[in-house]
Amino acid sequence: MGALITLQFLLPLLLALLLLATGYFSGRYLERKHYERIIAEETRPGQVMVFPSRLPPPSLSPPQSALVMGSVVISVDYFKRFIATLRMLVGGRLNSYESLLDRARREALLRMRAEAQAMGAKQVFNVKYETAVIAGRGAQGQVGSMEVLAYGTALIGQD
Amino acid sequence: MGYRNPQPPEGINYVKKGWQRDFVLLVGGFFAGLALLLWLMMLALGWSARWIPFSWEQALSSSLQQPSDPDQRLTYLQTLANDLARAGGLDESMRITVHYQKSEAVNAYASLGGHVFILQGLLDEVKTEQGLAFVLAHEIAHVQHRHPLKATIRQLGFGVIMGLVFGNTNVAQLAGAGGQIAMLNYSRDLEREADAWALRALQNHYGHVQGADALFQWLAQEKADQAPLEWLSSHPDVAARIDRLEDISREQGYATQGSVTPIPDWPASH
């Protein structure tokens, strides 16, 4: 009976601690790797340039243009939600979601640039972002997923 | 052409190592704060138990009634309980009602409203009236100190706080498990309080405390390998309880030698 009581208290506690530790270390490792990859890709020489302005300058008038986009679908995991739940009690920046969304935006832009490059473009104008919740909104106990979309006009065949 | 895409600085749209710091600080700070809040609330609730009349407890537990024609065994137990209550100085407004359960488990417990349950397994193992009397007095002490009531309202208060703070989330399960372990600490304190009261009742009733630790000796011998770690247990460590009984006897000058009487043999009809 003693061993049973011990198990009854310790098992959920140990399980939770194990899950939290796993979430902490894997999350830290994966995020660091992802940022290293994002920054390396963003600063790569010959990367497609992006401009928020709606129209290219007249000197760049291209023979062809195309809509290019990059899309990323991300999901909040239980560990990030755990941190956010605690954060919401005291207020302040929701750091666990902010870094996730920051990576999603930058990854989406990189995918858009990759698409533009594959189409032979060197610049993309009129770059915009869209964010849409696609699952789990408002439902209790469900993790939320969202899409971050970056799109713009690629100028093709321009030196 | 003169266009460039400069790399924006890092750490503006997100805080570097932000959630890692959040995790450590919030988990640590939050649980420390919650523990403090619960600790204060447990104190306040335990303290407020004195203003709840015993009659409310009795009303809550009115469904527990002794059988109308108690057999020899129950009469013996009830008489012993009444004697011990008088010897220990049970509050005038309180009344002990003893119940007998035909169970192999070596146990006895007190419930709301002065209801004390004695299990057959206990009668089989303590052998002597003094050993039984100590356990019975220990349960009477729980009633005298309102321990079942305190435990009940603490459990209720704990549940309410947990519900308010966490709702039905994963964190609630985690904090609940930790909180239960903390509650066991209160439980062990109550047991020590009850042991001291019971020993005094025995000294007053029999004039000595010989045989009081019969159950503890049995537990130490038979169940030593099954005992949970103390901090995970609702009761203090058995060896420590035996030592403590000896310490109290020495300090209070209780007689440790005296005659012990065996428990009467009842026909095994029930």
Q: Does B62 touch chain A (CB under 8 A)?
A: no
Structure tokens of B75?
């009469």
Interface touch B23/A1, C-beta < 8 Å: no
**Two structure tokens written together for A70:** 């990059």
Residue from B3, B16, B17, B19 whose CB has the most chain A CBs within 10 Å, to mutate = B19
**ipTM of predicted complex:** 0.77
Which band of pLDDT confidence, cut at 50, 70 and 90, is reported for residue A47? very high
Distance from CA of A54 to the nearest CA of B (A): 16
Q: Tell me whether B169 touches chain A (CB under 8 Å).
A: yes
| B32 touching chain A per CB within 8 A | no
* Residues of the domain holding A37: 2-156
Q: What is the mean pLDDT of chain B?
A: 84
Number of domains in chain A: 1
CA B141 to chain centre: 11
Structure tokens at B180: 């239960």
CB B130 within 8 A of CB B117: no
Measured between CB atoms, which of A6, A93, A105 is closest to B232? Answer: A6
- Name the residue facing A5 among B168, B170, B232 (closest C-beta): B232
pLDDT value, residue A3? 59
Asked whether the beta carbons of residue A99 and residue B14 sit closer than 8 angstroms, the reply is yes
- Select the residue of A12, A49, A86 nearest B173 (Cβ to Cβ): A12
CA of A96 vs chain B CAs: smallest distance (Å): 5
Sign of the torsion angle spanned by Cα atoms A85, A88, A89, A93: positive
Kindly report, residue by residue over B14-49, the tens digit of the pLDDT. 988 888 998 889 888 877 888 888 889 888 988 888
CA–CA gap between residue B3 and residue A159 (Å, rounded): 12
- Using one digit for the tens of pLDDT, what is the confidence trace for A9-41? 667 778 888 888 888 899 889 999 999 999 999
C-alpha torsion sign, points B159, B164, B170, B174? negative
pLDDT in tens, B76-111: 999 999 999 998 888 888 888 898 888 888 888 888
Q: What is the DSSP letter of A94?
A: -
Please check whether residue B233 touches A, CB under 8 A: yes
The number of residues making up chain B comes to: 270
Pairing mode, strands A145-156 and A121-135: antiparallel
So what's the pLDDT on residue A41?
Answer: 93
Taking the C-alpha atoms of residue B176 and residue A12, their distance in angstroms, rounded to an integer, is 10
Q: Which helix (H) or strand (E) holds B182?
A: helix B170-206
Tell me the whole-structure pTM to 2 decimals. 0.62
Q: Which of B235, B19, B7, B194 lies closest to B106, judged by CA?
A: B235
* CA dist., res. B56 & res. B112, Å (int): 9
What is the domain-level CATH number for residue A100? Answer: 3.30.110.70
Cross-chain Cβ contact A87/B177 below 8 Å: no
Q: Using an 8 Å Cβ cutoff, are B197 and B88 in contact? A: yes
Task: For B179-215, write each residue's pLDDT tens digit.
Answer: 777 778 778 888 888 999 999 999 999 988 888 888 8
CB contacts under 8 A, B 90-109 vs A, are none
Nearest to A24 among B23, B165, B178 (CB): B23
CB spacing of B13 vs A80 below 8 angstroms: no
Helices A95-118 and A2-42: crossing angle, nearest 10°? 40
> A146: which strand partners?
A74, A133
With beta carbons less than 8 A apart as the criterion, state whether B166 and B175 touch: yes
Size of interface A-B (CB pairs under 8 A): 95
- The rounded distance, in Å, linking the Cα atoms of B132 and B213 is 9
The C-alpha of B227 sits at a distance from chain A's nearest C-alpha, in angstroms, of 5
Residue-wise pLDDT for B127-144, tens only, equals 888 889 999 999 999 999
Residue A138: CB partners within 8 Å, gap ≥ 6?
Answer: none
Put simply, whether A40 touches B (Cβ < 8 Å) is: no
pLDDT at position B154, please? 84
B170 touches chain A (CB under 8 A): yes
pLDDT (0 to 100) of residue A143: 62
Residue A136: both structure tokens together: 């789990």
Query: Quick check: helix, strand or coil at residue A49?
Result: strand
Q: Hey, are the CB atoms on B22 and A43 less than 8 Å from each other? A: no
Residue A36, chain B, CB below 8 Å: the answer is: no
* DSSP 8-class letter at B257: -
Say if residue B265 is exposed, middle or buried (CB neighbours under 10 Å; 0-12, 13-18, 19+): exposed
Q: How many CA atoms lie within 13 A of B252 on its CB side?
A: 20
